[in-house]
Amino acid sequence: MDDSLIWFILFIVFFTIEIFAPGIILVFFAFGALIVSIIEIFFDLNTEIEISLFLIASFASLGFLRTKIKDALKSRKDKLLSNDDYVGKKVIVVESLVGSGLGKVELHGTNWNAISEDDLEVGEEAIVIERENITLKVAKIDFN
């Protein structure tokens, strides 16, 4: 079997494992294998040089790109989970919130766990003042 094909198969294996067990590590080794596969198409390298190129390309990409990729993914995740999408929105109470207990509210057609310092009955409107993971903290709308 041709060395470039072996390195390409290794690229596919690393990339596939990264998809199913994300840790943002194996993608860099996949990148290293792809680089060696491409170089091997044009130059017939011995095994020691191939392995050296693989390690250099893998660790260089790991060193230069891992932090940037993690920061980009974290920033994207933070935007997806931003409180700005929830705070200030009106909700409808679908399960009473009495005595600082847990109840349920509806926001955009989805029921959410909710807590409130105000007593709220089913059907009342409330406003989201905070989101804590999958629980919305709501308050009675003051019409005064």
pLDDT-derived band at 47 (thresholds 50, 70, 90) equals very high
Question: How many Cβ atoms from other residues are within 10 Å of residue 111's Cβ?
Answer: 13
Residue with tokens 């190129």: 53
Rounded to whole angstroms, the Cα distance separating 35 from 62 reads 14
pLDDT beyond 90 at 77: no
pLDDT at 46 over 80: yes
| Percent of the chain surpassing pLDDT 70 | 89
Q: Cβ(75)–Cβ(97) under 8 Å?
A: no
Predicted pLDDT of residue 60:
93
Structure token pair of residue 78: 């933070």
110 vs 71, residue with greater confidence: 110
DSSP string for residues in 15-71:
HHHHHHS--SSHHHHHHHHHHHHHHHHHS---HHHHHHHHHHHHHHHHHHHHHHHHH
pLDDT at 84 > cutoff 70: no
pLDDT higher than threshold 60 for residue 105: yes
23 has a pLDDT exceeding 90? no
Of residues 23 and 10, which shows the higher confidence score? 10
Considering the four listed CATH numbers 1.20.120.420, 2.40.50.140, 1.10.10.60, 3.40.50.1100, the one that applies to the domain covering 84-140 is: 2.40.50.140
What pLDDT score was predicted for residue 72? 72
State residue 89 phi and psi, 5-degree precision. Answer: -80, 145
Domain chopping of the chain, boundaries: 3-80, 84-140
How far is the C-alpha of 38 from the C-alpha of 4, rounded, in Å?
Answer: 7
Max CA pair span of the chain: 81
pLDDT at 79: 55
What average pLDDT score do residues 101-121 get?
90
